[in-house]
Structures are given as C-alpha cells and as structure tokens.
C-alpha cells in the first residue's frame, strides 16, 4: 500500500515536463560503489536494511562510473588517490552529483595539520554539491545529504535553461519548491 495508490484512478495528471523529469531523476539517484576509508562502512550501513537508502531510490550502487549519477566520496582522499577520484568523476555521465562524506573529505579532518599525504578537502579535486560532516557521519546524516541532492535536482530548470540553488530545509523540502 503506497501513498499513490487509489488517488489517481482513471484520471489525467497534468504536470510540467521538467517536474516530471526531475521527479524521475531525483527518485533514482544511483550512487557509485566507491569507498575509500572508514566512512564507507557507514555508507554500507546506510545501504543496509536498517537505514535502507533504497527508500530514496538511491540503493542501486553501480560498479562503474558510467552508470552512476552520484559519487559519495566516503573516506580520506590521499594525494595518491586524488587523480583516480578525479578520473572517476570525469567518467560519470552528466548530470552528476558529489557528496563529500565525513570530516576528511570535507576539509582534511584529523589529517589537516600533520597529514602529509591527505588532500585537504575533496573539493580541491572535484566540485562538491553537498558536504556531510561527521567522523564518520551517522547514516541519518548521509540520508539528509542525499535529500539535499534531491532538492538540488528538484530545482533544476531543464526546459528554461536556468537553475536556482535550493535553500536547504530540515523538512526535506526546499524553500523554492512551493
């Protein structure tokens, strides 16, 4: 029994093209199977049955960047890994989104001062859409980050060729999407 059941019997739905497209895309954000350090354990927990990232349509972890929409950079990015992260990002098809998960990817984290080999934030390597702080972030925090990505997709003006940044809100709905 889903919320949509019984609501639209033998009816016509009117919507806009971009709403339908954005609705489709935000409901099937496929992340890339990609974990660098301990945050990946928490990302796996998010994917498992208790937190169940599949509720948001983002449970289909793809083993190749060419099928993925979302890169969750989970874990410490080292200088040696940075070029690989960049290459994986470039291999993803547009539209693509990046979540920086955890303190290390947000800004170097505990390695900021004395880590000789850690990139001080993955935004020095790839453009980041949503930062999820924490060491590691709780699965709820990652799901919140995923919902912010969904807000961002929801706000895209595909047909009008302009985009507005959503104002994040804890309810899961962005302020522009009235």
Indicate the pairing of strand 97-101 with strand 130-132: parallel
DSSP percent split of the chain into helix, strand, coil, nearest 5: 35, 15, 50
**Phi/psi at 132 (5° precision):** -115, 100
> Rounded to the nearest whole angstrom, what is the least distance from the CB of residue 79 to another protein in the complex?
4
Site string for another protein, 126-165 (x = CB under 8 A): ----------------------------------------
User: Using CA of residue 111, residue 112, residue 118, residue 123, what is the dihedral sign?
Assistant: positive
Give the Cα separation of 120 and 143 in Å (integer): 24
Q: Report residue 20 as tokens.
A: 């339908």
Q: CB under 8 Å to 13, separation ≥6 — which residues?
A: none
> Rounded to the nearest whole angstrom, what is the least distance from the CB of residue 84 to another protein in the complex?
11
> Rounded to the nearest whole angstrom, what is the least distance from the CB of residue 90 to another protein in the complex?
15
Query: Which of residues 7, 50, 66, 80 is near another protein by CB under 8 A?
Result: 80
Query: Which of residues 119, 143, 146, 149 is near another protein by CB under 8 A?
Result: 119
> Rounded to the nearest whole angstrom, what is the least distance from the CB of residue 112 to another protein in the complex?
9
Query: Which of residues 29, 98, 125, 128 is near another protein by CB under 8 A?
Result: 125
Q: Which residues pair with 73 in a beta bridge?
A: 100
List own/partner pairs for 156-162 with CB under 8 A and 24 or more apart.
156/18, 156/22, 156/95, 157/18, 158/17, 158/18, 158/21, 158/22, 159/16, 159/17, 159/18, 160/18
Q: Name which of 67 and 83 has its Cβ closer to another protein.
A: 83
**Is 120 among the residues that bind another protein (CB under 8 A)?**
yes
> Rounded to the nearest whole angstrom, what is the least distance from the CB of residue 131 to another protein in the complex?
18
Q: Name which of 62 and 120 has its Cβ closer to another protein.
A: 120
**Is 124 among the residues that bind another protein (CB under 8 A)?**
yes
Contact set with another protein (CB under 8 A): 79-80, 82-83, 116-117, 119-120, 124-125
């Amino acid at each position: 029994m889903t919320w949509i059941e019984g609501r639209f019997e033998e009816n016509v739905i009117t919507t806009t093209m971009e709403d339908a497209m954005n609705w489709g895309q935000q409901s099937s954000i496929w992340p890339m199977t990609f974990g660098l350090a301990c945050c990946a354990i928490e990302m796996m927990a998010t994917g498992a049955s208790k937190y169940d990232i599949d509720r948001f349509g983002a449970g289909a972890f793809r083993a190749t960047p060419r099928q993925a929409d979302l890169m969750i950079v989970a874990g410490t990015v080292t200088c040696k890994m940075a070029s690989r992260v960049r290459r994986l990002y470039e291999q993803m098809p547009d539209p693509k989104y990046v979540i920086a998960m955890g303190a290390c990817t947000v800004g170097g984290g505990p390695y900021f001062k004395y880590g000789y080999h850690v990139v001080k934030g993955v935004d020095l390597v790839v453009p980041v859409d949503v930062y999820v702080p924490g060491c590691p972030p709780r699965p709820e925090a990652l799901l919140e980050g995923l919902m912010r990505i969904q807000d961002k997709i929801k706000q895209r003006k595909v047909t009008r060729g302009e985009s507005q940044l959503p104002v994040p809100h804890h309810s899961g709905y962005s302020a522009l999407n009235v």
